[in-house]
Structure formats: structure tokens, C-alpha cells
Structure 1
């Protein structure tokens, strides 16, 4: 009796192993077909009633090496992983994210659940993130929820963060996506996202569909604040400038500050975008507004000069001074020289806002030898003022600028003066001090 039972158990075990091995091989074949968009293989497998359940199979890909020796759970249709953090996906997610529209269509026509989100995100989110507009359209046509939220509380429009996702955004709006829908965690709208990622075409699309310009997110930022506060490299300055021009032209409020009382002008100065600073000043941004840290826009740009020399920070300092910005306390000028010396034009325009400079040997020591050698002509002209007073021409300029404080940008262009003299009064760069 004992051996008989043992035999039966052994026989049952062998049949289970064979069945599992066969199923495992077919499941791997199905997986590989999804990865390469082999729609014929996908159809041949899911059309078999025995394997129709694979339409909504859930795969854990957190450790792809475990695919070679995986254990499959037939009830959950899930690969078991030894890792704590699972990365779950489905056939719809795989095909939608890779742009395999034919495979995706076959799966949807056979009843795959369009809003299944085992890993916290739907296939529609996946298609939008990967900029697959045809897949987005197909999912929406089969009933995908355009306002479903993922595990981060974002709707599909919130994950349209690339230039190539524009068509995806168009399809979402056509199928009822909320133009002012806010993410659950950050209260971002699609306009915040487009502004933060400098997407001018998305911006135009959203504004055309009635996006609210001045809605504030969790941090108190409007879309304009979001655009100005995003760190920007030289290559993206022009795009951010376009986005800000669009927002301001559409009526965005340039005076709304965030939770730290930082206005768009504070942020544009911190990120050293001279075109945006010019725009905001033109629309009457408050040049001496203080944030909670006591910093005005001038403080922000001077702190950024050393890291943003390629952004032409001198243009921002010049614009701020011409619109009536506060100046640095004269006793702090040596410190400013030390930290901003790699941008001699910034030093020039800032120091030309004073009628006299009390230059000492400490100033000379503030400029590293290699910086001095690189900009030798300028620093020689600056340090020569240690023994020589400022020119009468400069003193006359300073007197007139003091008289027109805060009105320079309005008055000087209207004066019947030669262009070179107007430029001189507006602190045009000459690359030396006199």
C-alpha cells in the first residue's frame, strides 16, 4: 500500500511538471511575441481557448533574469519574484508602450481589459509616456478612461512630457480628458506639466481648449511659476522663453508667488534666463519684491552667476538695475567680485551703478590668477581705479541715473540723444572700466 501511494504521488508529480513545462514554454513564446510585435503568434496563442486567459496575464519584470527559471501562478497569472519591489505589466502595456498597434488591436478585440493597472498605471499611461499616438487612439476607441489616475495620482495628460507626445495629448482631449484636471499629489494641471517641460505646442493646444492660467498647485506655483522655476540649460532657454511669452500674452498673472513667496521674476533670475527676465520686467514685475528668505531678484542672479556664465547673467543684472533694482551694499562688493569674477561683464555693469569704488588690495586678491589672466584687460582697468577717480563722464551718467531711478527704461529711449549715448546711460557693456 505504501509503495502504491508513493507511485501515485510520483505519477501525479510527473504529469504536473510536464504540464507546467509545456505551459511555461508557451507563455515564454507569448511573451517574446509581445516584445517584438509578432501579432500572428499572439493571435495563434490567445485564440486557443486553453490560453485565452493570457489576454490579461500579469507579469512581474522586476528581475528579468528570473524569467529563465520562473514559477508561474495560474490563479494570479503572475511571475513570482524574490524581490520586494515588483514591476508588473500586461500584454496591453507591452504592446501599447512599444507602438505595436496590430498586436494591441487584436488583444483589445478579444476582450483584454483596457484599464487594467496591476502596477499602478494603465496601458494608456504607458502609451502616452512612450509617445505612441496610434496606440493612444486605439485604447481610447476601446473605452480607455482618459482621466484614469496612476499610482502617482497622474492622469494620462500629466504624463505627456515629451515634444513627441503632442498627438497623444490631442487624442486625449478629443476623448474627454480634463483640461484642468489636477494630479492627486501635487495638484498639477496639464498646463503646469507643459510649462515645466517647456512644451510650447502643448501649451498652445491647452490654452485653445480653455486651460486655466492661474491655478496654483500644491507648492503655490502657477504654470508661469513652474516654467520659470525649472532648471534650464543653454539649449532650453529659448523654449522656456517661448512658453513664458505665450503664458504672459494669454494673461498669466506675473505677480503670483509660491509658498516661499518667490515670484516668477525671482525664479527666472535664479535660473538665469535673460529673455524671460526682460519679458517679466516689461510687464511690470516688481523688481524689489522680497521672498521669505529676504532675497530680491538681484540676490538670486548674483548667487547664480558663477554657475551660469554661458547664460549671459550680465544682461539680467543690467536689466534689473535699469528697472530700479536695489544695489549691493558697497561693503559687500569684494565678496561679489570673488564669486562673480568669472563673468567680468557682470562685474562691469554692477560696479558701474556706483559713483565711486573704494578698491583695495583685498579686491585684487579676490580674483584668482587664472581668471585675471583670462580677462586681463578688464581687471587691469578695474584695479587701476585704486589710484584714479572715476571719469567725469561716468559721474554725469550716475547723476542722471540717480535722478531717473526706476524710470530709466521709460525715459531714456524717448530722449533725443544719439544711440551710443542712450546705450551708455543704460549701462551698455564696454569690457573695461573708466
Structure 2
């Protein structure tokens, strides 16, 4: 096997001119390679959060020092998933404990001492497991695991399990876990594999991780995010439901003071994503997420939903008792985003009516009129005429009485009003039932 991993001129992809231009000083190259081998021999030792330590204690594994391989023939077999070639290159009894130093990549200038710089290829160390797991080469991955490849080796700062989750390869994720991969391994930048399940295609990877002991409330090192934060921010409804079933905490805050609900509401949303985020927030609220939690800038989910002009989400938060009078550190209430709501949600008079009726007084200006497209104004003429007439008319005494009662019951409104046995028309009025006009 040692002959297999030596660099042969016949298999190297560079021209002789390129090789000469990238020739390094022999002593420095040996020291450079030695440092790389030593760095790759040590697994990362980030301390996990308390829950992670309790559920999945760190395992000390002793493995032989892996070889550094630069052979292009072997690399080509790995990167193309050539199982037949790999069976020849890794016969029974051979070791798959290798670190790959890929050839090629991005070019960069590197200081070589004495004021000299050399243009060379930027290379990131990896392993055969990383290459095959990240590309979904399941059969090749099986072969490497049968040949004893170390599942938790992380020469480039992440394990093969991180790689399979990033690339959304569920079968490779399952194989690595079955062969002992640490579901709570921490990458160089402080992420566990579950934190990297950040798009819909990673759902099955997340399931496998949780089934093999992934810590559901583990935090990232940089933002202090839980997996639920990641799922909520990315609008991953299925992930959110899965994590809640596994005991994810709905109200944990990250470094910015954001809960998963705050994170979902604050995420900029494209038009096609609005309903998905609405459903996700509804799930979080049903699980007990507090709609009045403020981030470090004292912004509530309502502030954020108004800023993102998610009409249905604004209505949902208001219907569940969100406070319209909370001021952030900039002295702004959700109402300060009303012009943006008018502009982007003008097709939804219902949402605008609910938001406007949550305030006792409004300062309607010409800018409001300009925010509503003419065709939308014509379609909902009666409603918008009632809104714009408030520029010259105070709110009705009936409305002011409603606002006073709503302020008194703030935070309890949706629970108390239905139990008062009021006439239906009054009950609906207090709960801001849609009328189609403002008075």
C-alpha cells in the first residue's frame, strides 16, 4: 500500500512547467507536511453544552496515525465514486486510514520568507470518507468503513458526518452513525451535524441524527443557536415538528436574544415563503412559544413580522394577544412599520384593519395614500376611504373604549374575552373581528 500512496510523475495532473513554478524548498515542505499530519491526528475538543455532555459523553478514541495521500489515481477513484477501482486500491487487509491532500483548487499567494511570495494552490485536507459521504457514493462509503476508516477523523475541521449532513445525503449519514460516528461531534466553527441540517432535503439526516443521540438543545459556538433556531430561521416546518417531538425547547434565546419564534419572524421572506413561515410560527406558538419575547434590541415578533410585511403572520400574532405598544430600543412600536405593511400588504385589508384597530390614535398622512397602488385602492375603495378619512377625524368613542379594555386585558385577552359570556357582536368587536372599514 505504501507504493500506492507515493506521488508518481505519471499520475500527476500538472505540467512540468507548473511543477517547477510551484517547487517549494525541501526543508520547509517537510516541516509543512509534518505539521499537517500532526494537526490531522487530533480530533477537535470543543466542550459540549451541559445537556450534550449528559446525553452523549465524549469518547476517547485511539487510532493509528493516518497516511497523507497525494496520489491522483486514488483521488480520481474517490471523487468519481468508482467502486471497481476502489476495490482494487483497497483490497482486503488494507487500511483506509488516509488523509487526502487534493491536487488543484483555488490559487493564492503564500509568503515563503525573506520577502518572497509564491503562487500556489489552496488545499484543504480531507479523507476518503468525507469525499464519498459528501457525494452520496454509498457503496464506496461501505467499502471504506469495512476497511476500518476512522469515522470521526476531521483534518479539515469537520467530520464526514458533518459533510454528509451539509450535502443532504441521508443514507451516508445513517451508515456513518451505524459505524459509530459521533452524532455530537463539534466542527472547527462550533457546529454539530444537527446544526447543519438547514434545508428541506436534510430532514432524513436530522431524523437519523436524533435516533442516534444527537443533543436536541445543543448550542453553536458563535451564535448560541439550537437546532430549532436553525430550522425556524430557514422555514423548515417538518424539522420544527420533529425537533419539538424530541423535546426541543421552544423559548431558548441565542446570543442576540432571539427565540426560534423571533428568528422565524425576523427572517426576510420571499412572497412564496410567507405561508410556510406562517404555518411554522403557528406550530411554535402551539408548542408554547412566547409571542412577547424581546430580542436584545427589544424587538418582539410583531415588530419583525411588520417589518417583513407578512400580513397573515401579523394577523396571527395580534389575534393571540401580541402587544402593539411595545417600544424597541430605537423608540419604535410595530406601528412604525405600517407604511411598509401598507405598501406590501395592501391586497389584504383584513390584516391592515386588525393592525390599525389595535391603536387608539393614528397619524394618517399623504404618504399613506401614496403607499397604496391605485388599482388596489379601486378594488377596496370603501375600506381605504375609511382609513384615509382618519387624517381629519378622531377615532370613535366606541373604538377608544375597546382599546382601553384591550390594554387592561393585555396578554390575557384571547383567554378572558371568550369566558365573559358577552353577546357575539361585542365579543367579536373586542377581538378585532373584520368589518371592512375603519371608524
Report the equivalent of 1:82.
120
Q: Following TM superposition, by how much is the alpha carbon of 1:186 offset from its aligned partner in structure 2, in angstroms?
A: 0.5
Are 1:187 and 2:224 an aligned pair?
yes
Q: Following TM superposition, by how much is the alpha carbon of 1:401 offset from its aligned partner in structure 2, in angstroms?
A: 2.7
Q: Following TM superposition, by how much is the alpha carbon of 1:199 offset from its aligned partner in structure 2, in angstroms?
A: 1.2
Report the equivalent of 1:39.
83
Residue 263 and residue 86 in structure 1: after superposition, are their counterparts in 2 closer, same or farther (change >3 A)?
Answer: farther
For 2:399 and 2:334, locate their aligned partners in 1 and report how far apart those are by CA, in whole Å.
Answer: 20
Q: Following TM superposition, by how much is the alpha carbon of 1:150 offset from its aligned partner in structure 2, in angstroms?
A: 1.8
Contact 2:237 2:279 (8 Å CA) reproduced: yes
Are 1:335 and 2:367 an aligned pair?
yes
Report the equivalent of 1:59.
101
Q: Following TM superposition, by how much is the alpha carbon of 1:114 offset from its aligned partner in structure 2, in angstroms?
A: 1.3
Q: Would you tell me which structure has more helix in proportion to its own residues?
A: 1
TM, length-normalised to structure 2: 0.70
Residue 298 and residue 192 in structure 1: after superposition, are their counterparts in 2 closer, same or farther (change >3 A)?
Answer: same
In the TM superposition, what are the counterparts of 1:30-429 in structure 2 within 5 Å? 30-47=74-91, 55-60=97-102, 63=105, 82-83=120-121, 86-303=123-340, 305-306=342-343, 308-309=344-345, 312=347, 314-322=349-357, 324-325=358-359, 327-330=361-364, 333-341=365-373, 344=377, 352-353=386-387, 357=391, 398-405=396-403, 428-429=435-436
Q: Which runs of 5+ in 1 are unaligned?
A: 1-17, 67-79, 359-389
Q: Higher relative CO (CA 8 A, sep ≥ 6), structure 1 or 2? A: 2
For 1:81 and 1:63, locate their aligned partners in 2 and report how far apart those are by CA, in whole Å.
Answer: 12
Q: Following TM superposition, by how much is the alpha carbon of 1:112 offset from its aligned partner in structure 2, in angstroms?
A: 1.6
For 2:92 and 2:239, locate their aligned partners in 1 and report how far apart those are by CA, in whole Å.
Answer: 44
Instruction: Encode CA deviations 1:248-278: one digit per residue, 9 max, x unaligned.
Output: 0111111110011000111111112222222
TM, length-normalised to structure 1: 0.71
Contact 2:153 2:159 (8 Å CA) reproduced: yes
For 2:98 and 2:200, locate their aligned partners in 1 and report how far apart those are by CA, in whole Å.
Answer: 31
Give the number of aligned pairs: 354
Secondary structure of the residue aligned to 1:57 is strand
Task: Point out the more displaced range, 133-142 or 114-123.
Answer: 114-123
Secondary structure of the residue aligned to 2:120 is coil
Are 1:20 and 2:8 an aligned pair?
yes
Please tell me whether Structure 1 or Structure 2 has the larger radius of gyration of its CA atoms: 1
Q: Which runs of 5+ in 2 are unaligned?
A: 1-5, 14-69, 109-117, 407-413
Contact 2:107 2:119 (8 Å CA) reproduced: no
Contact 1:355 1:398 (8 Å CA) reproduced: no
For 1:352 and 1:405, locate their aligned partners in 2 and report how far apart those are by CA, in whole Å.
Answer: 18
